[in-house]
Chains A and B, each alone.
Chain A
Amino acid sequence: MLKFVLLVNKQGQTRLSQYYEYVPVEERVTTEADIVRKCLSRNEESCSFMEYKNFKVVFRRYASLYFIVGVDNSENELSILEFIHNIVETFDRYFESVCELDIMFNIDRAHMMLDEMIVNGNIVETNKSRVLAPIAVLDKSNR
């Protein structure tokens, strides 16, 4: 089960955060800062997984953004790594060559896409076209 998904840039600012388990607001900020510090201190060579308190953290760096996913102990880390890549590809298709600013200015869209893919901490959809379909409907009705 996924506990949370975070997108953090190299300066440590959170660009997107989605929690699948209730965590009080102050605790969120401290946890995020702590995890980000540990991720930033890793270099290219080291492992993409680490243990933090009682759960595991899987992360990967894409350009200036760190995609961080926290999972509990029963989850397969390598498949979560694949899932992170899937998320990135979905964002890429929607925003056309996504960058950090795209996510910042369209955070509601980014959230919606994440919500299509993960429900209650479980992966529900991995097919990019199906994830993007409702968002396309929304865009069309807005225009």
Chain B
Amino acid sequence: MAKLLYIHMLGYPAHFGQMETLKLIASPRFSDKRLGYLGAMMLLDERQDIHILITNCMKNDMHHQVQYVVGLALCALGSICSEEMSRDLSGEVEKLLKSSNPYIVRKAALCAARIVRKVPDLMEVFVPTTRQLLSEKNHAVLLTGICLVTEMCTVNPDSLQHFRRFLPNLVRMLKNLIMAGYSPEHDVHGISDPFLQVRVLRLMRMLGKGDEDTSEMMNDILAQVATNTDSSKNVGHSILYETVLTIMDIQSESGLRVLAVNILGRFLSNSDRNVRYVALNTLLRTVSVDYNAVQRHRSTILDCLKESDVSIRRRALELSFALVNKNNIRTIMKEVLAFLDVAEPEFKSFIATNSLVAAEKHSPNKRWHIDTVLTVLIKAGSYMQEELVFTIIAMLSQTDQLHGYHTQRLYVALTNDISQQPLVQVAIWAVGEYGDLLVTGQVENEIGGGEEEEEEEEGRREVVQVTEDEVLDVLERVLQSPQSSPATRQYTLNSVMKLSSRFSTSLPRIKAMVSSYGNNMDMELQQRAVEYCAIFSKHDNMRTEHK
């Protein structure tokens, strides 16, 4: 039987074992029963019909003398029961909940939790017993009792009201846990029963959400937990983490929130990576609630971008984008762009999209905006989406003074590298529209306050002067390169056409280029080429010199 389970675990179908499990469960020997239930839990689930047959066996087992057998039945019931089974057996479970044996009560409570999740109507049956559960001394019973209550609250929000009355009990329980001395049973590294503490905190979080009074009651105890817990080990960290989450979710007073953010700040500078990850995660959630507090930790977050671990970097990135505003956008963008170089492909498109959005919302002046956009294009060009190309083009066409400047930059980028499609498309479009500016070497000085450092940086960039032939050379290279997509070729052909009215001396060459595409395989290119040739030949008299 055990071997069958192993085979099942490896992934091979093991349906033939199901009848065997039934036979084993029905046998009186404990070990057989154990194996049978184990098999049942692993092999069966709600979608099989056979599990209904177990119901009777389970009912008998639940009345058994030996507590372990009862425990077995409850365990199995808890794991795999379905609606019908829960209705049948809920009465039994309730009786067992009231029993005096903590071993059984534990399991019964969890069983009840499952039943509540499956069949919410049966919840009323279990509500009165929960009160007794919560005042138990035994930790395990407490744990499962709280679990049951949490389950009920998730399923039915109205019960929250009912359970808020129990809050003083919970507070007292937590206080005992912290204050009480050393208890060897539940101790983990010097903190008594951290699992129970975490559970209680989570339940408090649920109870306090949206309710002023309950939150008031919790304020003291939360502050106490936060300050008293020893955070040198991971255990302490987990409790503090849960406390912070709770403080964030309930209507706590501002002092408490500051405390929470401080704890998170401490986490951020912790040497253990897990803790830092958790802190970043939580900060992401609190950014919407308390913006300023998070700003204080901005530099630490930016440092996290240089971490070697992928998850931390991703979190730090998201957090940085959430924190961006007019004041800090330059520093943040600098870091992000540096990060772009080393990031993996799946990050790049995320970064590109977000950088553009952030730049649009918060850029201090037009020139910086365009600079950033162009840098992003150059670095992450091939990972950007198609729609972004259009947005960029639209934005470029709106900034009148800077046409010459950005055409220059795009041209330079184009000569260096023609493999990144979005970059090439934007560059070609710009060259087509403003090619004359490129040729005359006119770079208008834009209006707008650049800071000192920025001026120096740009001033040093040379004004590129090119001839019309060179420009056409580049365009021809793009047209013929196998790396260009059909869309890029179309863009290029269009640009060549536009240049025919802007460039004065290269008309024959342009005509030759366009007509060579007259019999190209690609329908779209061919059509355009033929139409343009027609314009050349028949309507040359409409040509005016573009000033």
Stretch of B105-113, B329-337, B368-376, B493-501 that contacts chain A: B105-113
Q: Are A107 and B274 touching (Cβ within 8 A)?
A: no
Cα distance A21–B143 when bound, in Å? 21
B396 lies within 8 A of chain A by Cβ: no
B473 lies within 8 A of chain A by Cβ: no
Contacts of B8 in A (CB 8 A): 25
CB proximity of A100 to chain B, nearest CB, Å: 14
Contacts of B140 in A (CB 8 A): 124-127, 130
Cα distance A126–B143 when bound, in Å? 10
Q: Are A46 and B11 touching (Cβ within 8 A)?
A: no
B2 lies within 8 A of chain A by Cβ: yes
CB contact between A77 and one of B71, B144, B278 (< 8 Å): that residue = B278
Using A20-B79, A124-B140 as known contacts, say yes or no to A78 and B2 having CB atoms under 8 A apart: no
CB proximity of B384 to chain A, nearest CB, Å: 24
Convert A27-70 into 0s and 1s, putting 1 for each residue whose CB lies closer than 8 angstroms to a CB of B.
Answer: 01100000000000000011111110000000000000000000
CB proximity of A45 to chain B, nearest CB, Å: 6
CB contact between B241 and one of A17, A78, A83 (< 8 Å): that residue = A78
Using A76-B241, A76-B242 as known contacts, say yes or no to A126 and B234 having CB atoms under 8 A apart: no
Contacts of B107 in A (CB 8 A): 119, 124
Tell me the residues in window 71-90 of chain A with beta carbons closer than 8 Å to chain B beta carbons. Answer: 74, 76-79, 81-83, 86
Q: Are B38 and A112 touching (Cβ within 8 A)?
A: yes
B312 lies within 8 A of chain A by Cβ: yes
Convert A9-34 into 0s and 1s, putting 1 for each residue whose CB lies closer than 8 angstroms to a CB of B.
Answer: 00000101110101001101100000
Q: Are A138 and B38 touching (Cβ within 8 A)?
A: no
A108 lies within 8 A of chain B by Cβ: yes
Using A76-B241, A122-B113 as known contacts, say yes or no to A83 and B195 having CB atoms under 8 A apart: yes
Cα distance A107–B312 when bound, in Å? 36
Tell me the residues in window 89-134 of chain A with beta carbons closer than 8 Å to chain B beta carbons. Answer: 107-108, 111-112, 115-116, 119-120, 122-127, 129-130, 134
By size class, the interface of chain B is 35 or more
Q: Are A28 and B110 touching (Cβ within 8 A)?
A: no
CB proximity of B42 to chain A, nearest CB, Å: 8
B521 lies within 8 A of chain A by Cβ: no
B510 lies within 8 A of chain A by Cβ: no
Contacts of B10 in A (CB 8 A): 14, 29
Contacts of A77 in B (CB 8 A): 274, 278
Q: Are B310 and A46 touching (Cβ within 8 A)?
A: yes
Q: Which residue of B lies closest to A17 (CB)?
A: B9
CB contact between A47 and one of B47, B234, B274 (< 8 Å): that residue = B274
Q: Are A78 and B41 touching (Cβ within 8 A)?
A: no
Using A108-B5, A130-B140, A138-B34 as known contacts, say yes or no to A124 and B106 having CB atoms under 8 A apart: yes
Q: Are B238 and A14 touching (Cβ within 8 A)?
A: no
Using A78-B278, A107-B6, A124-B110 as known contacts, say yes or no to A137 and B68 having CB atoms under 8 A apart: yes
By size class, the interface of chain A is 35 or more
CB proximity of B372 to chain A, nearest CB, Å: 29
Q: Are B311 and A51 touching (Cβ within 8 A)?
A: yes
CB contact between A78 and one of B13, B38, B106, B274 (< 8 Å): that residue = B274
Contacts of B312 in A (CB 8 A): 47
Q: Are B235 and A82 touching (Cβ within 8 A)?
A: yes
Q: Which residue of B lies closest to A26 (CB)?
A: B11
Q: Are B9 and A14 touching (Cβ within 8 A)?
A: yes
Q: Are B11 and A45 touching (Cβ within 8 A)?
A: no
CB proximity of A31 to chain B, nearest CB, Å: 11
B164 lies within 8 A of chain A by Cβ: no
Cα distance A97–B107 when bound, in Å? 29
Using A45-B309, A47-B273 as known contacts, say yes or no to A120 and B114 having CB atoms under 8 A apart: yes
Q: Is the interface of B mostly helix, strand, loop or mixed?
A: helix
Contacts of B38 in A (CB 8 A): 108, 111-112, 115
Q: Are B195 and A50 touching (Cβ within 8 A)?
A: no
B511 lies within 8 A of chain A by Cβ: no
Residue from the set A78, A122, A129 with the largest chain B CB neighbour count within 10 Å? A78
B147 lies within 8 A of chain A by Cβ: yes
Residue from the set B12, B42, B195, B275 with the largest chain A CB neighbour count within 10 Å? B195
Q: Which residue of B lies closest to A28 (CB)?
A: B11
B400 lies within 8 A of chain A by Cβ: no
Q: Are A79 and B34 touching (Cβ within 8 A)?
A: no
Q: Which residue of A lies closest to B277 (CB)?
A: A47
B188 lies within 8 A of chain A by Cβ: yes
Contacts of A107 in B (CB 8 A): 2, 5-6
Contacts of A134 in B (CB 8 A): 68, 71
Cα distance A119–B148 when bound, in Å? 12
B237 lies within 8 A of chain A by Cβ: yes
Which B residues are within 8 Å of any A CB, using their own CB?
2, 5-6, 8-13, 30-31, 34-35, 38, 41-42, 45-47, 68, 71, 75, 78-79, 103, 106-107, 110-111, 113-114, 139-140, 143-144, 147, 185-186, 188, 193-195, 198, 202, 234-235, 237-239, 241-242, 245, 273-275, 277-278, 308-312
Which A residues are within 8 Å of any B CB, using their own CB?
14, 16-18, 20, 22, 25-26, 28-29, 45-51, 74, 76-79, 81-83, 86, 107-108, 111-112, 115-116, 119-120, 122-127, 129-130, 134, 137-138, 141-142
Sample of 17 A–B contacts (CB below 8 Å) = A14-B10, A45-B308, A46-B273, A47-B273, A47-B312, A49-B277, A77-B274, A78-B238, A78-B278, A111-B38, A119-B107, A120-B113, A122-B110, A124-B106, A124-B110, A125-B140, A127-B186
Q: Which 8 A-B pairs have the closest CB atoms?
A: A78-B238, A46-B309, A29-B11, A79-B238, A119-B110, A108-B2, A120-B78, A22-B45
Given A18-B42, A123-B143, A138-B30, 14 further pairs, Cβ under 8 A = A25-B12, A47-B277, A47-B309, A78-B234, A81-B238, A82-B235, A107-B2, A108-B35, A111-B42, A120-B79, A120-B113, A124-B107, A124-B147, A134-B68
